[in-house]
Amino acid sequence: MNYTISQYGASLRASTLGAELCSYIDATRQERIWPGQADIWPGHAPVLFPLVGAPKNGEVRFAGKAYPVRKHGFLASREFTLVEQGSNFLHFAAEADEETRASYPYAFAVHILHFLRPDGFMTEFRVQNCDIRPMPYCIGGHPGFCCPMEPDAVFEDYLLRFEKPETGEIVVCPDGELIRGHEFLPALAGGQELSLSHTYFDEKDALIFPALASRQVDLIHRESRRGIRFQFADFDVLGVWTKPGVRADYLCLEPWVGLNAYADETGNFEDKPFVRTVQPGETHTLRYSTTLLS
């Protein structure tokens, strides 16, 4: 079921399926979220949990026991409950059950909130440990933004402008599955701007930045400088992706706690980079936000 809220001249729509944000229409009536297309990428802004990226051999081990899990985990296909709706927010929640324990052996609750703001929107994740043991987890956002955003513009008219100078380090994950090393993007090394090109994604699948100095990046037109500002202070990694080989008009900016599996990793979930652990009875809260730049 879909729920819509309107405030500040804008509207936001989200679904109980995965608590996914499906639409954000700004005050000028412009859609900012990729509407989804079955033959390209049907998603809008799925939530990744308890795994980010692909596992090794289709499984991970918790306390030495192997559990099957698919890429990006299972939360995007879970039905959530609408807990509360306000004039400027939607609050969804889902809990563990027998099906989730087959892949992730912990009692948990995940709350996802979407907020309308005067100049954009914010998404909040709350990861609650309902178990009697410390609970390791990964979590990530996967919002897809329409790009281009201006009439007569094309994807290649846009660039990413990072908050701080960056080395350009990315992980090498050419098939979108296992990480097989690291490399550096010469076009970004030591700078703050990276011009967009579909060629990057045709060659590398995704640009996954594991060591950014920035926690803010602008997706903007190179001349008008209009676009969006994406802030992700609570996350460790930024993934940048659009489907290779199709030249689609969207770009995903993905804030992650976690990474794809390394080809040579142990397979133990606790050993994965950027895994966080929430103690029994405690809750971790993480937020990312999108601000319109005009």
For residues 167-187, give the mean pLDDT.
Answer: 92
pLDDT by residue (tens digit) across 3-12? 999 999 999 9
Query: What percentage of the chain has pLDDT greater than the value 90?
Result: 96
pLDDT by residue (tens digit) across 111-128? 999 999 999 999 999 999
For residues 173-194, give the mean pLDDT.
Answer: 92
Q: How far is 144 from 136, CA to CA, in rounded Å?
A: 27
pLDDT by residue (tens digit) across 24-56? 999 999 999 999 999 999 999 999 999 999 999
Amino acid (1-letter code) at residue 158: Y
Q: 280 preceded by cis ω (within 30°)?
A: no
> How many other C-beta atoms are found inside a 10 Å radius of the C-beta of residue 233?
11
Please report the pLDDT score of residue 101 as a whole number: 97
What are the helix (H) ranges across the chain?
Answer: 98-101, 198-204
DSSP secondary-structure letter at 291? E
Residues in the chain: 294
Please report the pLDDT score of residue 71 as a whole number: 94
**pTM reported for the whole predicted model:** 0.97
